[in-house]
Amino acid sequence: MKTDPLTPTNLSDRPPFQGKLLIDGVWAAAASGSQLERKSPAHDLVVAVYAQAGVEDAERAIAAARKAFDHGPWPRMKGAERAAVLRKVADLILERKQALAEMETLENGKPLAQSLAEIEGAADLWQYAATLARNLHGDSYNTLGENTLGVVLRDPIGVVSIITPWNFPFLIVSQKLPFALAAGCTAVVKPAEVTSGTTVMLGQILVDAGMPAGAVNILVGRGGVIGDVMVTHASVDMLSFTGSTAIGKAAVAKSASTLKKVSMELGGKNPQIIFEDCDWDAAVDAAVYGIYFNAGQCCNSGSRILVQQTIAEKFVAEVIERSKRVKVGDPLVAGVQVGAITTEKQLETILAHISSAKEQGATVALGGSRIPGKGMYIEPTVVAGVTREMAIAQEEVFGPVLAVLTFNTLDEAIALANSTLYGLSAAVWSQDFSTCMSAARRIKAGTVWINTFLEGHAELPFGGYRESGLGRELGRFATEDYTETKTLHMHLGTRTDWYVPR
């Protein structure tokens, strides 16, 4: 049934989305009958009601994924057959993109046009993973002597627990699930409970695309309850987690009880280094875009700008001037660039970071407050006079709050860039090739953008150094992460006896 596009005026006519749990190919209520509700952070209206999984449901989902892996068709299909299903999923995502984008916006608070772009980007990831499903292969060694042949197989690792955050719900599940499936794994997926809608809708897409029962199971519920089961259960072979560094570290520690393979995409405190010879307009634009995109609720946010002292005053004045013109408001209104903060807890966290920056001697040069009225919005905020020891220079705020630091030399800039525990991404802005390359090679981060920011492609690996994560997603090796390596060591002809001659 076709519905009219969602607007602020027809929003209250829409009944809340009803979501169940997908276990072993069947949509089910929670064993306990428990439910949870989600309100739109921009409109304070109930937009979804879900079956809320408990431990028993999580155990059933894991058992279904285990059975699908050990006995089901998915790991046994040809790569070409798996690729066909993944391509069908991509097609269905594009067919349903308006409904998916609306759900994402209602639960997360991000502008609708941005949600649409993310859904299209996610479809591209499913398509890319389909190409890898046909290309996954091992290796062979014909150089080990006349009597020996070595063959290295890539086996799917097994059952993967996939746990995702609330800032890019559909995009992040699409950075993991299609690659795990391409390798022949089965999965149990848990989105952040506040933004479960699009992952539940993906479940229906998977069913419609012909995914065998149990190959993908979807649970809605609290991380502290079902997440714990997914992290520790002996029938799970691998954990693929995106979220905060604190919860990620705890999950790695818990998963060690059964020595699971882990893939961790965690927090960041990403610097954009602005040299005096930068392309001025592009760098100002990137500083503004880098911090306000997704209301700063982005692991890759450019939350620190490091500006060369010679241009600092003028550069910051221009960033402030442009920040004032950023359109913040109802994410369903066309032209809005920054929507609502996704949760009340996050709103409080952001405001607490701003207060602590003031207490530690920094200056709030722009914004700094909640915008009064309906919905949870924070003013675009620029904090100047920041030094490297301050919490605002070290900790992830996850909000529209830019910290400004200054430097004199390239060495100082690198030292500042590498002065946090994180290492997710960074940017270098200079029109001098040597400056760009020298800085990029010395920055400890998984991605360094040169004269651009926040761009991504399915072909390019993504992940963090240090406390920003373990492992890489995307790129041509993305499926290999979801495999075990098996060596076949083959002897040809008569084997020489070891001890007792025959």
Which residues are known catalytic residues?
265, 299
Phi, psi of 185 (to 5 degrees): -80, 165
Distance CA 9, CA 376 (A): 19
* Closest residue by Cα to residue 241 from 223, 259, 215: 223
CA distance readout (Å), 198 to 96, 194, 303, 434 = 11, 11, 27, 44
Residue 69 near ligand NAP by CB under 6 A: no
Q: Which of 48, 66, 60 is nearest to 22 (CA)?
A: 60
Site for ligand NAP contains 295 (CB under 6 A): no
Structure tokens at 98: 């308006």
CB of 287 to ligand NAP, least distance (A): 19
- Residues 296 and 398: beta-carbon distance below 8 Å: yes
Determine, following the binding rule CB under 6 A, whether residue 102 of this chain makes contact with ligand NAP. Answer: no
- Asked if 222 interacts with ligand NAP (CB under 6 A), we say yes
Give how far the C-alpha of residue 116 lies from the chain's centroid of Cα atoms, to the nearest Å: 17
Nearer to ligand NAP, 11 or 117 (CB): 117
Contact code string over 168-187 relative to ligand NAP, x by CB under 6 A: x---x---------------
- Nearest-approach distance from CB 253 to ligand NAP, in angstroms: 11
**Max CA-CA distance within the chain?**
90
251 binds ligand NAP (CB under 6 A): yes
Binding residue (CB under 6 A) for ligand NAP from 267, 329, 339, 367: 267
Among 81, 228, 276, 480, binds ligand NAP (CB under 6 A): 228
Q: Which stretch binds ligand NAP (CB under 6 A): 21-29, 69-77, 260-268, 436-444?
A: 260-268
Q: Which is nearer to ligand NAP, 262 or 306 (CB)?
A: 262
The SS3 call for residue 332 is coil
Stretch touching ligand NAP by CB under 6 A, among 71-79, 261-269, 311-319, 484-492: 261-269
- Give the x/- contact pattern for ligand NAP in 459-498, rule: CB under 6 A: -----x----x-----------------------------
Q: Does 197 bind ligand NAP (CB under 6 A)?
A: no
Assess 167 for contact with ligand NAP (CB under 6 A): yes
- Closest to 114 measured CA to CA, from 202, 65, 42, 220: 42
Size of the site for ligand NAP (CB under 6 A): 31
CA angle 338, 465, 385 (to 5 degrees): 55
394: alpha, beta or left, given left = phi > 0 and alpha = psi -120 to 50? alpha
Q: What are residue 36's DSSP bridge partners?
A: 50
Q: Which residues bind ligand NAP (CB under 6 A)?
A: 163-168, 172, 190, 192-193, 222-224, 227-228, 231, 242-244, 247, 251, 265-268, 299, 396, 398, 424, 464, 469
